[in-house]
């Protein structure tokens, strides 16, 4: 039994005394202790070493006190397991030296054995669960198939993922074959994480907003739906599509337990577009954590008032920025813990 189960109650739509709170990328670069490990170990070493991943995952629980932990890992461990080389270059971010550009390239992509290729993630889940000792729930995650395709085809981050979109629109057969391979791998990966002990799953569609409302169901949501269908009876699933306000209505009917909302969609619009019956998560502008702590607390209370305390998980509208002061992150968490309905 998890001692602090507010997060799971909110996912289940139960009445709570206050909403739960966590932050995307909470186990990250804004924490001085994280930076010490970053200076000693490269990015994928941290991901692949269960002891390090566990230490980083638990760090924010001890230091800022959110109501849920999210496993330290990366969405790009999935393409690595699929025979797609991924590097993390300092100052650049993800770099894929051999991006996928043809049908022949897609054929070389494999649907791997998860235990063999991503066993280190499963070990990190088990180790982290032991370290947390039922203090708070643990979230496992994966990128959406579309978001993984964006990196696999573009070869790096991008402001518009033009090469990835061109690939989809000029070679849709190969694009859908790649998306299906990513989907099949992601389902197997997330099911293995569930078996290893995570308490909830989040799907990050970080680049879903790059697609038009017409193309989104074809190239992204169709595949997210497959993942939700495969997992929803086993575990709560959160779907977060950045820039995907136009899809909230379809997402609300997907069987997901909750939907993430970014800061460009107001609480009122998010409730309206999602039909008002599903748990929502978000949507504080990450850059607003630069504001003074007193102002952060005031804005967080206003945000909770607008969403309502039930069927709501307080979070940022995207990941925390690396130079946010720790005391400001703490103010965000404390504001939620201090909240009382008016």
pLDDT in tens, 187-231: 999 999 999 999 999 999 999 999 999 999 999 999 999 999 999
CATH code for the domain of 129: 3.20.20.210
Q: Which domain holds residue 257?
A: 6-338
Find, among 271, 215, 213, 272, the residue nearest to 243 by Cα: 213
3-state secondary structure of 259: strand
Rounded to whole angstroms, the Cα distance separating 36 from 38 reads 5
> Strand 279-284 vs strand 312-316: parallel, antiparallel, or unpaired?
parallel
239-267 pLDDT, tens digit each: 999 999 999 999 999 999 999 999 999 99
Q: Under 8 Å CB-to-CB from 305, ≥6 apart: which residues?
A: 342
Is 165 inside a domain boundary?
Answer: yes
State the pLDDT confidence band at 341, using cuts at 50, 70 and 90: confident
Residue 300: inside a domain: yes
Annotated binding site for substrate: 25-29, 44, 74, 151, 206, 318
- For the chain, what's the residue count? 342
Number of domains in the chain: 1
Burial call 172-189: b when 16+ CB within 10 Å, e when fewer: eebbbebbbbbbbbbbbb
Instruction: Report yes or no on 1 lying in a domain.
Output: no
Examine residue 313 and state whether it is found in any structural domain, yes or no.
yes
Which residues does the annotation place in the binding site?
25-29, 44, 74, 151, 206, 318
pLDDT per residue as tens digits for the range 177-194: 999 999 999 999 999 999
pLDDT of 342 above 80: no
Grouping H, G, I as helix, E, B as strand and the rest as coil, residue 175 is helix
Tens of pLDDT, residues 96-155: 999 999 999 999 999 999 999 999 999 999 999 999 999 999 999 999 999 999 999 999
Q: Read off the pLDDT band of 319 (50, 70, 90).
A: very high
pTM, 2 dp: 0.97
Is there a domain that residue 121 lies in?
yes
Distance CA 340, CA 301 (A): 9
pLDDT digits (tens, 9 = 90+) for 61-79: 999 999 999 999 999 999 9
271-304 pLDDT, tens per residue? 999 999 999 999 999 999 999 999 999 999 999 9
* Alpha-carbon gap, residue 263 to 318, rounded angstroms: 8
């Amino acid at each position: 039994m998890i001692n602090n189960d507010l997060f799971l109650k909110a996912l289940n739509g139960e009445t709570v005394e206050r909403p739960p709170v966590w932050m995307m990328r909470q186990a990250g670069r804004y924490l001085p202790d994280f930076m010490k490990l970053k200076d000693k170990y490269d990015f994928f070493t941290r991901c692949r070493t269960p002891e390090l991943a566990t230490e980083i995952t638990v760090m924010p629980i001890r230091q800022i006190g959110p109501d849920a932990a999210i496993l330290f890992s990366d969405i790009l461990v999935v393409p690595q397991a699929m025979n797609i080389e991924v590097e993390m270059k300092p100052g650049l971010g993800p770099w894929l030296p051999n991006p996928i550009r043809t049908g022949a390239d897609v054929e070389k992509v494999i649907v791997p054995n998860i235990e063999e290729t991503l066993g280190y993630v499963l070990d990190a889940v088990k180790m982290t669960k032991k370290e947390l000792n039922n203090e708070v729930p643990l979230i496992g995650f994966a990128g959406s198939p579309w978001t993984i395709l964006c990196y696999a085809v573009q070869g790096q981050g991008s402001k518009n993922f033009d090469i990835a979109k061109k690939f989809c629109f000029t070679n849709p057969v190969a694009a859908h074959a790649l998306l299906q391979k990513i989907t099949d791998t992601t389902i197997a990966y997330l099911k293995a994480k569930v078996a290893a002990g995570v308490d909830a799953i989040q799907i990050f569609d970080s680049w879903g907003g790059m697609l038009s409302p017409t193309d989104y169901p074809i190239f992204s949501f169709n595949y997210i739906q497959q993942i939700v269908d495969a997992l929803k009876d086993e575990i709560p699933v959160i779907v977060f599509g950045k820039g995907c306000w136009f899809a909230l209505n379809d997402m609300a009917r997907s069987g997901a337990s909750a939907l993430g909302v970014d800061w460009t969609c107001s609480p009122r619009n998010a409730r309206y577009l999602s039909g008002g019956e599903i748990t929502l998560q978000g949507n504080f502008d990450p850059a607003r954590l630069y504001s003074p702590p007193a102002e952060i607390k005031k804005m967080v209370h206003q945000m909770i008032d607008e969403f309502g305390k039930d069927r709501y998980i307080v979070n940022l509208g995207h990941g925390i920025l690396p130079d946010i002061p720790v005391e400001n992150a703490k103010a965000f968490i404390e504001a939620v813990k201090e909240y009382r309905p008016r």
